[in-house]
Structure 1
Amino acid sequence: MIPLPRPRLLTSALLLGTAVGLLLGIGLSLLVTAKIRPDVVIALVVGVPGAIGMLTILFSRRRWMTVLGAFVIAIAPGWFGVLVAIQSVNGA
């Protein structure tokens, strides 16, 4: 059984994870200048945080671990949103 935290904590973790994902996406897009295939970038941006967060939630024994897993999962949409915004502004 997955231990569920209070809804306020879970919502806060998701909101903070999205904000961290936005900042992480902006920071790393300024830092990395190498040409990388888009499918590889999408797999890394969505797949890695999603897999780590899902495994953290599935194997959590404490409520704070579930919150941490939700936070890590929420990084992916924020980071992906920044990448989409950058591509749409660049006209690609």
Structure 2
Amino acid sequence: MIPLPRASALAGVMIVGVAIGMIGAIAAAVEITATVRPDIVIALVVGIPGVIGLITILVSKRRWVTAVGAMILAIGPGWFGALTAIQVATGG
């Protein structure tokens, strides 16, 4: 059984995860100037936090570890959303 934290705590850490993802995307967009294939970027941005977050949630024995896994899992959508907004704003 996966130990679930309170709904408000879970929602809070997921919001923090999305914010971390957005900040990471903006930082990566500023620092990385190399041309990278979009399919590889999407796989890395969504796949790596997704796998790490799901594994963390599945092996958790405490509520706070489940919350950390949910936060890591929420980094992917935040990062992807920010990269999408940057592409739309720059006309790329």
Interval of TM-score (by shorter of Structure 1 and Structure 2): over 0.9
* Equivalence for 1:73: 73
Question: Which structure 2 segments of 5+ residues have no match?
Answer: none
- When normalised by structure 2's length, the TM-score is 0.97
Following TM superposition, by how much is the alpha carbon of 1:89 offset from its aligned partner in structure 2, in angstroms? 1.3
Q: Give the match's secondary structure for 2:61.
A: coil
Whole-Å separation in 1 of the counterparts to 2:11 and 2:91: 34
Q: Which amino acid aligns with 1:69?
A: G
Q: Give the match's secondary structure for 2:21.
A: helix
1:13-92 maps to which residues of 2 (within 5 A)? 13-92=13-92
Question: Which structure 1 segments of 5+ residues have no match?
Answer: none
Over aligned residue pairs, what C-alpha RMSD do you find? Answer: 0.7
Whole-Å separation in 2 of the counterparts to 1:78 and 1:33: 21
Aligned pair count reads 92
Whole-Å separation in 1 of the counterparts to 2:10 and 2:44: 24
- When normalised by structure 1's length, the TM-score is 0.97
Whole-Å separation in 2 of the counterparts to 1:87 and 1:18: 18
Q: 4+ residue runs of structure 1 moved beyond 6 angstroms?
A: none
Q: Give the match's secondary structure for 1:87.
A: helix
Aligned-residue identity in percent: 53
